Amino acid sequence: MVTTRHLAWEGAFNARDLGGLPTTDGGTTLPGAVVRSDAPDDLTAAGWAGLWAHGVRTVLDLREPDEIPAERVAPDWVTVVRVPLDDRGDTAFWQYCADNGLSSGTPLYYGPFLRRKADRCVAAIEAIADAPPGGVLVHCASGRDRTGLISLLLLALAGVEAAAIVADYELSEERLRPAFAALGWRDQGPLIRELLARRNTSAEAEILSLLETLDIEAVLRAAGLGETRLAAVRARLLGERAE
């Protein structure tokens, strides 16, 4: 079991291992299998060395093409896989979210997104299932929203306890605080909590509701997630216990 999930890689603010989380069968997820993070664009040489030492060999980038630097920043020893998650071309969906206050800075949009774009989520999960041996780093820009959704789905498929899934999501607020400060931006955490409070909800309530009301495995299967890849992603997160 990992002693700490937070990864102090120089140039990253929101990197943490998805290992060591309690599952409903009394076990824990494997450390080193999947890491979630903000974009690694600003990692220093020491930061990339930390990533190598942690065993990461594949990077899954969930950003849109126009968010990605023109020049590759990852070392040659890293396999970079790109699965743009948002599908911004679906302007009707994003307008629906805007009109209904389903801010992409909160989990409010997770349910509608998963119902409409489960195929995009499946593509990301398949990329993790198909990755070669070694850890997989999953990231978007800040490592909160898109990365938070894919992390939630992975942990749900692995049978992680709902409270632990919520706690993992909520860690991003404290981890991003120094990132916002470094950029001279206002801390988004209190703003997001206020937005949710105005709707008489919270991040915890929204995620618990999603986990309780939506059969995530069934939704992903219906969108094309096959048995082989489902077994592979569970094996990555759980090891022999997935069998």
Q: If you average pLDDT over each of 104-113, 168-177, 216-225, which comes out highest?
A: 216-225
Structure tokens that stand for 2 in this block: 């990992």
Q: What is the mean pLDDT of residues 168-180?
A: 88
Phi, psi of 58 (to 5 degrees): -130, 135
pTM score: 0.94
Domain CATH code at residue 75: 3.90.190.10
Q: Tens of pLDDT along 223-236?
A: 999 999 999 999 99
Other beta carbons less than 10 A from residue 221's beta carbon: 15
Q: Listing from the earlier edge strand, what are the strands of the sheet with 79-82? A: 16-17, 34-37, 135-139, 56-61, 79-82
- Residue 217 and residue 46: Cα distance in Å, rounded? 38
CA atoms within 13 A on the CB side of 62: 30
Looking at every residue in the chain, the average pLDDT score rounds to 93
240 within domain boundaries: no
DSSP 6: B
Three-class SS state of 136: strand
Residue 183 pLDDT greater than 80, yes or no: no
164 belongs to a structural domain: yes
242 within some domain: no
Phi/psi class of residue 30: alpha, beta or left (left: φ > 0; alpha: ψ in -120 to 50)?
beta
Residue 126 lies in a domain: yes
60 φ/ψ angles, rounded to the nearest 5 degrees: -105, 115
**Could you tell me if 172 and 148 are in contact, meaning their C-beta atoms sit under 8 angstroms apart?**
yes
Residue 233's pLDDT is: 98
Identify the H or E element spanning 83: none
Q: What percent of the chain has pLDDT over 90?
A: 82
pLDDT of residue 73: 85
Domain, as residue range, for 165:
16-235
| pLDDT (0 to 100) of residue 3 | 47
Domain count, the chain: 1
The 10s digit of each residue's pLDDT in 137-149 is 999 999 999 999 9
Q: What is the pLDDT of residues 62-110, one digit of tens each?
A: 999 999 998 888 999 999 999 999 999 999 999 999 999 887 789 999 9
pLDDT for the residue 1? 36
Is 59 part of any domain? yes
Domain contains 169: yes
Q: Which residues contact 239 (CB under 8 A, 6 or more apart)?
A: 30
- pLDDT reported for residue 243: 58
In a domain, 171, yes or no: yes
Instruction: Please report whether residue 91 resides in a domain.
Output: yes
* 34-43, 52-61, 191-200, 213-222, range with the lowest pLDDT: 191-200
3-state SS class at 81: strand
